[in-house]
Amino acid sequence: MSSTLAGWLQALALVGALALCYRPLGDYIAHLLTSAKHWRAERCLYKVVGVDGDAYQRWTAYLRSVLAFSVASVLFLYGFIRLQNHLLLSLGVPQMSPHQAWNTAVSFTTNTNWQSYSGESAMGHLVQMAGLAVQNFVSAAVGIAVVATLIRGFTRSKTDRVGNFWVDVTRICLRLLLPVSIVFALVLVANGVVQNFHGFHDIAALGGGTEGIPGGPVASQEAIKELGTNGGGFFNANSAHPFENPTGFTNWLEIFLLLVISFSLPRTFGRMVGDNRQGYAIVAVMGLFWVASAALITLAESHHSGSALQAAGGAMEGKEQRFGIAASSLFAASTTLTSTGAVNSFHDSFTPFGGGITIFNMMLGEIAPGGTGSGLYGMLILAIVAVFVAGLMVGRTPEYLGKKLGGREMKFASLYILTTPAIVLIGTGIATALPGERAGMLNSGPHGFSEVLYAFTSAANNNGSAFAGLTVNTPWYDTALGLAMAFGRFLPMIFVLALAGSLAKQQPVPASAGTLPTHKPLFVGLLSGVVLIVVGLTYFPALALGPIAEGLH
Amino acid sequence: MSKPLPASVRTHWTALRLLLVMTAILGIAYPLLVTGLSQLAFADKANGSIVTSDGKEVGSSLLGQNFNLPKKNPDDPNEQAQPDPRWFQPRPSAAKYDPHGSAAGNLGPNSDDLLKAVNDNRAAIAAFDGVDPATVPVDAITASGSGLDPHISAAYAKEQVARVAKTRNLSADTVDQLVDKYTEGRSLGFLGQAGVNVVLLNKALSEQR
């Protein structure tokens, strides 16, 4: 079979598998977000935690719960990491510096999983499984919980209550993420991913010398790392490491896992608002960008432009033989379009345009399909903007799903859209202006600038992948990128929750002949255009200085 | 309690309790359960797919290794390791195949350092294997993502057959057949890319009598 045909088949198989999951998984998530019934185990848990599982919260109370849970998570994880060398299963790793521990704690709490440390030398097994992997679950759940409030904003009327944070997070963790993770962790082990509590196990290697075989609870972490669009590798090489991703099949499975929830959530949305066609329109836009991006990266990598890659005769630098160009490109497109950031190949060594598209993917705002929950709320904000733009064209107060989009709603949507680019561009600007931070670049010229641009784009969009040549374990980068991750996660959430509260208060208006239908191909095209124009106009100058300058050179 | 705590303190206390409960379930019980089941059902894979030769553990089938000549002076950290012609050679590695530090090179597509490394590798490998530099395959001269890649392309393996056969006094046919035997196709026929597992191939080679 030719490589091209195999490349197409793996993508088609992925589309098929995701399409099969769309309805059942989306409906299941809608059910768990709306059901009035608690499991007995959940009732016990609510009693222990001390919450009333039947009371809905105002958006302000919901927001306070989100922030309190995240603050508790950052502090707990920070303490855990700083103290890990005194705990069980620490494998004798040295104590982590305060700035790196801050960076790591924020990174995992915000679903970013940016890693300025390398797993095998800086983290013991206990902190990986009971610290980092726990955040892999709960940060993914927080994202889905927040989008649930936005959907409830459309479905509920004349109320100030948008949901119960504690119930939403508990159900998403226990009913969705945990069972799926158990199943796929076992599938990964069956294909070679390790799962044990050993430290490095020294053996006399065939080729001479001693080889330390690493161990750890890797498969259990790998499953949720992908499923929850987290992306933080157990090992430094992330999903390129053969113990995290041993075969072509596990590679395909990991891509599937990191896409499946975010691609199914539009169904949840359609289901909850009582019109499945609305979900199809949203998923169509997500799918369009994903297909285009995967195709363009594969094309760029197949043509291996760049002086060093031309001399090598192919873009295999930083890529694994068992994956090759097509599987690496598909992974790269999927991981940067979701907020995952796991990598099976190193983007810093991609072709100028291939690597540039990974940056552009993140700049889209992680919406196609985006992180668990955060992808859908990002896309819904852009849908609101698209409806507003259409409303301006015909001079009519815009409405989306029966809710009027007035000044208050548009202010929140605009603030959402402005936040991340502001963090990215200001952060990149400051870093490039500082000589010490410029020295952190591994590569020179436009590619060095791309490394810094990638870092801030990845942090502010909570992706977590990197042009990994940049030296980021410095007090400045750890602190600055930590702030970028925190603001990039929580400011947008504040605007989404405020918007949810504002929408829920409204009385729905009946659709009339003048209402823009938001389930037709026209709207899919309009929304895609808005996404491209908003992102393109914001980031074009920065992209021109980095990947475009390098690619056209 | 005589006085209820302020609302903001109560919310944080609730948050911490939920986090601790979740840590017990998702951070302790879940990995223990998966480890227990894995060790029962797939112990070999769960422990790193260790390969043995003559009853001794010699590596993992998933982790690439160096196959270099012993250093002339083992205490000299600057001495460059030289490839051992009796073994099939793996891809270049930014981690020098040390699993304590998996890593990629991260050099950009237009990097002068990468250009030099690629050209140097091409010349060195062509001389080592006695072939035309233009025919050296791309995987032989570029570093992998993990630095632990156990595979090379079939083309690179075939290029090394003559050299390995000669240094081991084996017939080229015998070595060629071993290469075919350890060539792994794509998963399920269409996922990923085919490759030759260097560790397994070299192990089979070392067991030839």
Nearest CA in chain A to B64: A242
> In chain A, which residue's Cα lies nearest the Cα of B68?
A207
User: Which range marks the domain in which residue B12 is found?
Assistant: 7-44
Residue B77 lies in a domain: no
pLDDT at A350 over 60: yes
Quote the pLDDT of residue B82: 94
The percentage of chain B sitting over the pLDDT mark of 70, rounded to a whole number, equals 99
- Contact call for residues A505 and A160 (beta carbons, < 8 A): yes
Nearest to A114 by CA among A279, A6, A238: A238
Q: Are residues B94 and B36 in the same domain?
A: no
- pLDDT tens-digit series, residues A467-520: 999 999 999 999 999 999 999 999 999 999 999 999 999 999 998 888 899 999
Residue A328: alpha-carbon gap to chain centroid: 18
Q: Which of A80, A109, A206, A301 to mutate to test the interface with B (most CBs of B within 10 A)?
A: A206
Strands A161-163 and A201-204: unpaired
The reply to whether B102 and B187 lie within a common domain is yes
Same domain, B117 and B199: yes
pLDDT at res. B73: 85
What's CA A135's distance to the chain center, in Å? 13
Q: How far apart are CA A113 and CA A132, in angstroms?
A: 9
d(CA A442, CA A73): 33
Distance, in Å, from the CA atom of A78 to the CA atom of A99, rounded to the nearest integer, reads 10
pLDDT at A40: 97
- The rounded distance, in Å, linking the Cα atoms of A360 and A100 is 27
- List the single residue in A with minimal CA-CA distance to B207: A206
The residue-averaged pLDDT of A361-385 equals: 97
- Cα end-to-end distance, chain A, whole Å: 35
Instruction: Name the domain count of chain B.
Output: 2
Q: Is the pLDDT of residue B2 over 70?
A: no
CB A174 within 8 A of CB B22: no
The token pair that represents B125 in the structure block: 């490998």
Token output for A437:
């931070």
State the average pLDDT over residues B17-37: 98
Distance CA A111, CA A74 (A): 12
| Cβ atoms within 10 Å of B51's Cβ, excluding its own | 18
- The Cα A338–Cα A322 span in angstroms is 23
Does B95 reside within a domain? yes
Among B193, B200, B207, B208, the residue to mutate for chain A (most A Cβ within 10 A) = B193
Closest residue by Cα to residue A277 from A262, A266, A285: A266
Asked if residue B96 and residue B156 are part of one domain, the reply reads yes
The rounded Cα A162 to chain-centroid distance in angstroms is 24
Q: Of the candidates B13, B21, B142, which has its C-beta nearest A45's C-beta? A: B21
pLDDT at position B3: 75
Beta pairing class for A399-400 and A403-404: antiparallel
CB A427 within 8 A of CB A470: no
More confident residue, A195 or B7: A195
pLDDT reported for residue B59: 97
DSSP sequence for A486-509: HHHHHHHHHHHHHHHHHHHHSPPP
Tokens of A175: 């009913």
Alpha-carbon gap: A185 to the closest alpha carbon of chain B (Å): 7
Cα A483–Cα A484–Cα A485 angle in degrees, nearest 5: 90
> A87 CB near a chain B CB, below 8 Å?
no
Asked whether the predicted pLDDT for residue A25 surpasses 70, the reply is yes
Domain with A536 in it: 3-552
Q: Inter-chain contact A69–B15, Cβ cutoff 8 Å?
A: yes
Angstrom distance (rounded) from CA A548 to CA A544: 5
CA-nearest of A223, A442, A228, A232 to A349 is A442
pTM of the model: 0.97
Residues of B in Cβ contact (< 8 Å) with A350: 109
Considering only the beta carbons, identify the residue of B63, B103, B187 that sits closest to A236.
Answer: B103
The verdict on B144 and B187 lying in the same domain is yes
Cβ-Cβ pairs closer than 8 A, A with B, add up to 378
Rounded CA-CA distance A372/A355 in Å is 24
User: How many domains are contained in chain A?
Assistant: 1
Query: What is the model's pLDDT at position A192?
Result: 98
Backbone angle region of A517, left / alpha / beta, with phi > 0 → left and psi within -120 to 50 → alpha: beta
Helix B30-41 with A178-190: angle, nearest 10 deg: 30
Q: Do B14 and A50 make contact, defined as CB atoms within 8 angstroms? A: yes
Cβ A28 vs Cβ A272: under 8 Å: no
CA A462/CA A220 separation, integer angstroms: 22
Give one DSSP letter per residue of A34-96, joined into a string. H--PPPHHHHHHHHHHT--TTPPEEHHHHHHHHHHHHHHHHHHHHHHHHHGGGSTT-TTPPPP
Nearest residue in chain A measured CA to CA from B109: A306
Question: Residues of A68-81 as b/e, b for ≥16 C-beta within 10 angstroms?
Answer: bbbbbbbebbbebb
Q: Which H or E run contains A256?
A: helix A248-272
Give residue A451's identity as a one-letter amino acid code: E
Position of tokens 């400051």? A430
Percent of chain B predicted with pLDDT > 90: 90
Q: Is residue B78 part of a domain?
A: no
Give the three-class secondary structure for A1.
Answer: coil
Is the pLDDT at A119 greater than 90? The verdict is yes
Query: Is residue B151 scored above 80 in pLDDT?
Result: yes
Distance in angstroms (rounded) separating the CA atoms of residues B48 and B62: 8
Same domain, yes or no: B151 and B176: yes
User: Both B29 and B112 in a single domain?
Assistant: no
Partner-chain residue, chosen from B115, B144, B186, that has the shortest CB–CB distance to A311? B115
Is residue A163 a contact partner of residue B12, using CB atoms and an 8 Å limit?
A: no
The angle at the Cα of A426, spanning A424 to A429, to the nearest 5 degrees, equals 105
Instruction: Work out the mean pLDDT of chain A and round it to a whole number.
Output: 96
**CA distance to partner chain B, nearest, from residue A387 (Å):** 37
DSSP state of A410: H
Q: In chain A, positions 292-311, which contact chain B (CB-CB < 8 Å)?
A: 304-309, 311
Give the per-residue SS3 of A414-473: HHHHHHHHHHHHHHHHHHHHCHHHHCCCCCCHHHHHHHHHHHHHHHHCCCCCCCCCCCCC
Question: What value does the mean pLDDT take over residues A104-120?
Answer: 97
What's the rounded Cα separation, in Å, for the pair A131 and B28? 10
Q: B1 pLDDT exceeds 60?
A: no
Interface test with A, best of B65, B102, B201 (most A CBs within 10 A): B102
Give the pLDDT of residue A326: 97
Tokens 């019109």 belong to A275
Q: What is the pLDDT of residues B33-73, one digit of tens each?
A: 999 999 999 999 999 999 999 999 999 999 999 999 998 88
Q: Given CB atoms, is A254 within the 8 Å cutoff of chain B?
A: no
pLDDT for residue B8:
85
Instruction: Report CA dihedral (A469, A473, A479, A483) to the nearest 10 degrees.
Output: 40
Q: What gap in Å lies between CA B112 and CA A208, rounded to an integer?
A: 33
- Does a structural domain hold residue B169? yes
Which pLDDT score is estimated for A553? 76
Q: Which residue of B has its CA nearest to A242?
A: B62
Instruction: Work out the average pLDDT over A107-114.
Output: 98
The predicted model gives A351-377 an average pLDDT of 97
Strand B151-152's sheet: what is its strand order?
Answer: B151-152, B195-197, B183-184
For B49, nearest residue in chain A (alpha carbons): A192
Residues of B in Cβ contact (< 8 Å) with A242: 60, 62-64, 146, 148-150
Please check whether residue A481 is in contact with residue A457, taking contact to mean a CB–CB distance below 8 angstroms: no
Query: Does residue B124 form part of some domain?
Result: yes
**Structural tokens at position A12:** 């088609």
Q: Are residues B102 and B198 in the same domain?
A: yes
Note whether residue B1 is domain-resident. no
A210 φ, ψ to 5°?
Answer: -105, 140
Name the closest residue on chain A to residue B57, using Cα atoms: A203
* Alpha-carbon gap: B173 to the closest alpha carbon of chain A (Å): 23
With respect to residue B80, please indicate whether it lies within any of the assigned structural domains.
no
CB-CB: which of B30, B49, B149 is closest to A321? B149
B123: pLDDT strictly greater than 80: yes
* Cα–Cα separations (whole angstroms), residue A493 to A336, A355, A486: 20, 29, 11
- Is residue B79 in some structural domain? no
Burial of residue A33, with CB atoms counted within 10 A of its CB: 0-12 exposed, 13-18 middle, 19 or more buried: buried
Q: What is the pLDDT of residues B152-175, one digit of tens each?
A: 999 999 999 999 999 999 999 999
Q: How far apart are CA A421 and CA A359, in angstroms?
A: 13
Nearest-CB residue to A206 (from B8, B65, B118): B65
Sign of the alpha-carbon torsion through B42, B47, B48, B54: negative
Q: Nearest Cβ partner of A348 from B21, B50, B106? A: B106
Q: Does A437 touch chain B (CB under 8 A)?
A: no
- What mean pLDDT do residues A177-202 have? 97
